[in-house]
Copies of this chain bind each other. A is one copy, B any other.
């Protein structure tokens, strides 16, 4: 479905500016479908997510923040499968035309598509409340992919980077307090851990990205694996930036219940620990062991008695 105005906006802000070709892309935007050749020996990964103004980004967020958060979160789903990027689709719904917002949004989509080497293969523009749905395509070696369901009893639980920074930034923003730049970027421009995901393919037994909060996401992984977990709160990687900006009693809530960090949480057998340290060193990305997979279903949070496990994560709905 393509109308005159829709066509003009796509021409002005996206066509000719955004990468729309790539290996395997036979036909990009502008036809009824895009066409791909999936390379032999590869399986296709697909994820779709909607980002709604006022829910997934702030109502008054500039276009570049909406674009960065949507792209970061969507590509993070590929990272959590250990996939490389193959293509993406953008369905954008706009209440009215704002050149400033569209220029900021589209130029960020263009630069991120380039940075991550992922062609924009198609899309859609509609009139309505501000939201966008991204569908991302990735590749993994045939039949592989880091699933949530592979955790085994005795596996270590690891987390990349630090947790709670994005939630800390959002908490400060919501109270109209000053937000340190290094926290702000963690919320506004999340970095999908694509290189880490690919490196973990032969190492990790299960993986998930931290989008709803670490406790909630570990619980999702445990449910899919039909296992339980113990997390040692004292081992959570909490950044100095967060410790300086957030009160002590809110720190644990940010780290355990705060979404939006898009770090990878994964499990691996203890004998993989050296391989994981090597990946961490190669990528220059801290990776911290924070707990263990248990037989008994449920999540045990050591050192976090005050934390309400019944509402462990951010609810998008």
Residues on A lying within 8 angstroms of B by beta carbon are 1-6, 9, 26-27, 30-38, 40, 43-56, 73, 77-78, 80-81, 83, 87, 89-91, 93-94, 121-129, 131, 133, 135-138, 140, 142-143, 145, 147-149, 207-209, 211-212, 216, 220, 224, 259, 311, 313-317
Q: Report whether A122 and B48 are in contact in the complex, using a CB–CB cutoff of 8 Å.
A: yes
Q: How far is the CA of A182 from the CA of B53 in the complex (A)?
A: 40
- Taking CB atoms, residues of chain B closer than 8 Å to A48 are 48, 89-91, 122-124, 133, 135
26 contacts between A and B (CB under 8 A): A2-B220, A3-B216, A3-B314, A5-B315, A26-B43, A32-B77, A32-B78, A32-B81, A33-B78, A33-B83, A33-B136, A35-B43, A36-B44, A37-B142, A46-B121, A47-B122, A48-B124, A48-B133, A49-B91, A51-B126, A53-B128, A89-B135, A94-B317, A125-B317, A133-B133, A133-B135
Q: Report whether B143 and A37 are in contact in the complex, using a CB–CB cutoff of 8 Å.
A: yes
Q: How far is the CA of A3 from the CA of B267 in the complex (A)?
A: 21
- Other-chain residue from B3, B5, B50, B220 in contact with A126 (beta carbon distance below 8 A): B50
Q: Report whether A93 and B142 are in contact in the complex, using a CB–CB cutoff of 8 Å.
A: no
- Taking CB atoms, residues of chain B closer than 8 Å to A224 are 30-31
- Taking CB atoms, residues of chain B closer than 8 Å to A316 are 1-3, 6, 125-127
**Oligomer copy total:** 2
Q: How far is the CA of A94 from the CA of B128 in the complex (A)?
A: 13
- Taking CB atoms, residues of chain B closer than 8 Å to A77 are 32-33
Q: Report whether A35 and B145 are in contact in the complex, using a CB–CB cutoff of 8 Å.
A: yes
Q: How far is the CA of A53 from the CA of B145 in the complex (A)?
A: 37
Q: Report whether A209 and B4 are in contact in the complex, using a CB–CB cutoff of 8 Å.
A: no
Q: Report whether A45 and B73 are in contact in the complex, using a CB–CB cutoff of 8 Å.
A: no
Q: How far is the CB of A155 from chain B (nearest CB, A)?
A: 17
Q: How far is the CB of A1 from chain B (nearest CB, A)?
A: 5
Q: Report whether B131 and A81 are in contact in the complex, using a CB–CB cutoff of 8 Å.
A: no
Q: Report whether A6 and B317 are in contact in the complex, using a CB–CB cutoff of 8 Å.
A: yes
Q: How far is the CA of A27 from the CA of B3 in the complex (A)?
A: 36
List 8 additional A-B contacts (Cβ < 8 Å) besides A36-B45, A49-B91. A3-B212, A32-B148, A33-B145, A37-B43, A48-B123, A53-B128, A89-B135, A124-B133
- Find the B residue at minimum CB distance from A37: B43
Q: Report whether A52 and B317 are in contact in the complex, using a CB–CB cutoff of 8 Å.
A: no
